[in-house]
A = this chain, B = another copy of it.
Amino acid sequence: MPELRKDPIIGRWVIIATERAKRPDQFSSSYAEAPAETACPFCEGAEDSTPPEIYSVRPRGSPANSPGWELRVVPSISPFLKIEGDLERRGKGLYDLMNGIGAHEVVIETNKHIANMADISEEQISRVITCYIDRMLDLEKDRRFKYVLVFKNYGWSSGGGRVKHSRSQLIATPVNPKRVKEELSGAHFYYDYHERCVFCDIIKQEMSSKDRMILDIDGFIAISPFASRFPFEVWIMPKKHSCDFTALEQDRRRDLARIMKQVLLKLKKGLNDPAYNYVIHSAPFRRPSKAGYWKSVDYDYHWHIEIIPRLTRVAGFEWGTGFYICPLTPEDAAKFLREVEV
């Protein structure tokens, strides 16, 4: 059983993933190169190669786990967290831990062997967005979970797998991730003082200065954040205030798909198809019975997507200190990406 362990000094939870653990002597120091690609278990026709599907977009009447689908969600074959069991929060001397309960799902974004989401149609990306929302709403029903993280690893150096079939992942966790908690606290602190959402203020300032603006279309903006940690980091934000990604209206999903595709194409074309990660930051589950600290989240938090191209090696220093060094100004990054035609 994997474990969730809490750092006793700074309070960060860590997943100790025993299920996909290697033996200590199997760790090697040569992780730089991607191994050769193997047969793809995610293409249409290979439905037997994955665990049974949890969700799919397929013609009415078409049986589950058969060909003919447009999109599938399957449990991860080597999950970081296990779906069955209780959390059993407990102490071990001064340490805190609980069982590694959670969900870990793979969203297969296309039935074709396309590697980069940039090359998927807007219409299909819009289906992926709807799928994220449907899965998040379904996982919210499980009272053991507090959060669903949606993320993507594209390319080997982003942590992606050896098979190059476009997909993303969802992990439902029984704790809120540290970074999300920090954003919630920071946004709350700002709201307390200004009585305004910090994200809404950022959007206003970026739309007025335009220095870091990459795209401004259909109710969304894509910017290089003022304090970018990485060169060409991009944030996509809805102009309309909303803390909750799952509340995105049906007819706005196509608009989000459009700006996502354009940003991903600009990165691909402008930067020679780099590896990248993205994460969706949305409010934690707000259950009716849960009062207290996150009560104000409706007003002070604002969902957004963070995209991080993996172009630099600088990392260990940053991990050890939380102090990021970005070798490119966000203004130069935004100007460069604005000018990439897609």
Residues of A within 8 A of B (CB): 5-18, 20-25, 27-33, 80, 93-95, 149, 151, 153, 155-159, 173, 177-180, 182-183, 185-187, 190, 198-199, 201-202, 205, 209, 225-229, 231-232, 270-279, 281, 306, 308-317, 319-330, 332-333, 335-336
Contacts of A16 in B (CB 8 A): 227-228, 326, 329-330
Which chain B residue has the least Cβ–Cβ distance from A26?
B328
Within 8 Å by CB of A325, from B29, B80, B272, B278, lies B80
Additional 18 contacts, C-beta under 8 A, given A14-B323, A25-B336, A177-B323:
A5-B227, A8-B186, A8-B227, A9-B199, A14-B228, A14-B325, A27-B231, A28-B271, A30-B272, A31-B313, A93-B209, A149-B321, A156-B313, A179-B321, A229-B319, A279-B320, A279-B321, A308-B319
Q: Which of A24, A31, A201, A312 has the largest count of B CB atoms less than 10 A from its CB?
A: A24
Report chain B residues within 8 Å CB of A155. Answer: 29
A9, A328, A332, most chain B CB atoms within 10 A: A9
Instruction: Tell me if B8 and A202 are in contact (CB < 8 A).
Output: yes
Q: Which residues of B contact A33 (CB under 8 A)?
A: 32-33
Complex CA gap A228/B186 in Å reads 26
Closest to A20 in B: B327
CA–CA, A321 and B313, complex, Å: 19
| Contact of A327 with B179 at beta-carbon distance under 8 Å, contacts A198-B8, A311-B27 already known | no
User: Pick the contact of A322 from B177, B190, B332 — CB < 8 Å?
Assistant: B177
Docked pose: A313 CA to B156 CA in angstroms:
8
Once the chains are docked, how many angstroms separate the CA of A79 from the CA of B125? 42
A5 to chain B, nearest CB (A): 4
